[in-house]
Amino acid sequence: MAAAEESIRGKTRPDMSRNEGLAGQTVTKGDYEYTYDDNGYAKKAINVKNRQEREQEGYGGGGYSGGGDSSYYDSLQPTDLSGYLNDMYKAYTDAQLAALKSAYEQNLAGLQADAEKIPGIYQGARNEAASQNDIARMAFNEYANARGLNTGTSGQAALANSAVLQSNLTDISTKESDAIAENALQQQQLAIEYRNAAVQAQAEGNYQMAQALYNEYVRQDNAAMQTAQLAQEQANWEAQFNTGNSQWQQQFDASQQEYQDSLSAQNREYAYNLAMTMLAAGVMPDTNTLNEAGISTADALNMRLAAMSTGGSGGGRGSSGRSSDVDVSNENEQGTVSSSGNLHKADRDTTIKNAVASGKLGGGGISPNEFNALGKSLAAQLASGNENAALGNVTNRWGELSAYQKQQLADLFAKYDISLSN
């Protein structure tokens, strides 16, 4: 397995091999931040490049992205144990070889010691043979002298005795040579056995190590695939979450816009009806009401004058007409009627009170601003699925609403299949 970072399925894998020079340190190499234990084995690798990219994209900066920090998945990367396995099996093989060498050296030392003893042993045999020959020779000489044997006989006997000695010495030398040769052969056989055993132990160690490294590679590959699958599942979930969140936001915004449009239309209609009711009663609406109703000041003055000239009849949408320009003065604060025929303030207030009492202005209810705020709150709760809260709020305020306001809220709840009734 290569020690350098290798590309697997287009992605860079960390180099988890042993580095004794970095024992106990945390260093950054390439795309990864490595943490080494006291023996120099890499225990953890974090992809700092991915972490930096995510931080630049806005992840991990305090905002929720739908997923976790990329360092979490980097921590799931399998630890490369190939360096540990190499060291372990090398130590195992070295131990086997050391044991074989120790046994060989012990046996060799024994054989060498025996070899050193051989000359002494056979030299002793030679000395013994020579001693026995001397004893035999001396005994024969004594025998010859006692029997008066001549020197010729003694010479022949001496020759015979010498021949026996030489024969014995030759036999001893032969045995010595054989012993030396046997010892040397045993040493050679011992050396051959040691070499064969060492080669076998080395081969077995290499095979076991190779098998272990292969298994480690398969383990890492499977773990890497599982981690990649987990990361892909997380990415898919994040994409699905973001899509769903975007769709919900769009739906919520559309619902809010729809409610605002509806409320604006209702406010315009309410302002229009209010303005027309007031004009029919001879009362001039304020500028805000006219603007909301879409009625110009000139048209309002003409309609008010027409209503006053007809005795205050008419009112409502489409009941006004346009007359020629008329100089209309403001009502005075003393309660008098001006030359143009405007009602004074006291008569205007009485007219409005009568219109409210008769139901022309909605028959009571909460103020438009309060109703607007209530409608916004209810729309937001319904759009977010919090129907119970919306029902609780509308129930609490139901008795304060006019019939018109109740109908507007009933229409709002009907969009969510919720029926409101008195």
What are the pLDDT digits (tens) for 121-141?
989 988 988 888 889 878 877
Instruction: Read off the pLDDT band of 196 (50, 70, 90).
Output: very high
Which pLDDT does position 103 carry in this prediction? 93
Q: Is the pLDDT of residue 10 over 50?
A: no
**pLDDT value of residue 310:** 65
Question: Taking the C-alpha atoms of 243, 245, 249 and 252 in order, what is their torsion angle to the nearest 10 degrees?
Answer: 120
Judge whether residue 277 has pLDDT over 50.
yes
Residue 227: pLDDT band (50, 70, 90) is confident
- The fraction of the chain above a pLDDT of 70, given in percent, is 75
Give residue 245's pLDDT band: very low, low, confident or very high (50, 70, 90): confident
Q: Which of 174, 56, 192 lies closest to 122, judged by CA?
A: 174
Res 351 pLDDT > 50: no
pLDDT band for position 185 (50/70/90)? very high
More confident residue, 54 or 26: 26
- The reported pLDDT for the residue numbered 346 is 43
As a whole number of angstroms, the distance between CA 352 and CA 315 comes to 13
Of the two residues 332 and 86, the one the predictor is more confident about is: 86
Q: How confident is the model at residue 146 (pLDDT cuts 50, 70, 90)?
A: confident
State the pLDDT confidence band at 358, using cuts at 50, 70 and 90.
very low
Q: What is the mean pLDDT of residues 5-10?
A: 44
Q: Return the pLDDT at 348.
A: 40
pLDDT 10s digits, 279-295: 888 889 999 999 998 99
pLDDT score at 165: 82
Residue 151 has pLDDT above 80, yes or no: no
Average pLDDT, the chain: 77
pTM of the model: 0.32
Q: What is the mean pLDDT of residues 412-421?
A: 89
